[in-house]
Amino acid sequence: MFIEYMDHGSLNHFIGHFGRSIPENIIAYIVREILKGLNSIHKRRQVHRDLKSDNILINRSGDIKIADFGYAIQLTKDSQSSREIAGTPAWMAPELIKKE
């Protein structure tokens, strides 16, 4: 397995460093890059299922990467969805945790 080193850490770390003073254009850039990454994996019929600020990595060049595909699933012709609940409980909707 090859893993690219993201020397600026997670988005969570980035937000902790800058707090509420992150300029809107930087936020828009980060969100756009996350959406581009999600679009790429969704085109491959993959679902991440644990997207959170700890799983978004940034390097000093400004590259944004989605990490930790431990809960990811591959959708197939036979399996169009998953009934399995997965993700980090603190980041999940209450109705998912309650299986409602």
- The residue among 50, 37, 43 whose CA lies nearest residue 84 is 50
Q: What is the distance between the alpha carbons of residues 68 and 1, in angstroms, rounded to a whole number?
A: 13
Task: Name the catalytic one among 7, 50, 63, 78.
Answer: 50
Q: What is the distance between the alpha carbons of residues 51 and 41, in angstroms, rounded to a whole number?
A: 12
50 is catalytic: yes
CA count, 13 A, side-chain hemisphere, 89: 3
Q: Which two tokens stand for residue 91?
A: 């980041």
List of E strands, 6-89: 46-47, 56-58, 64-66, 73-74
Catalytic residue numbers, as ranges: 50
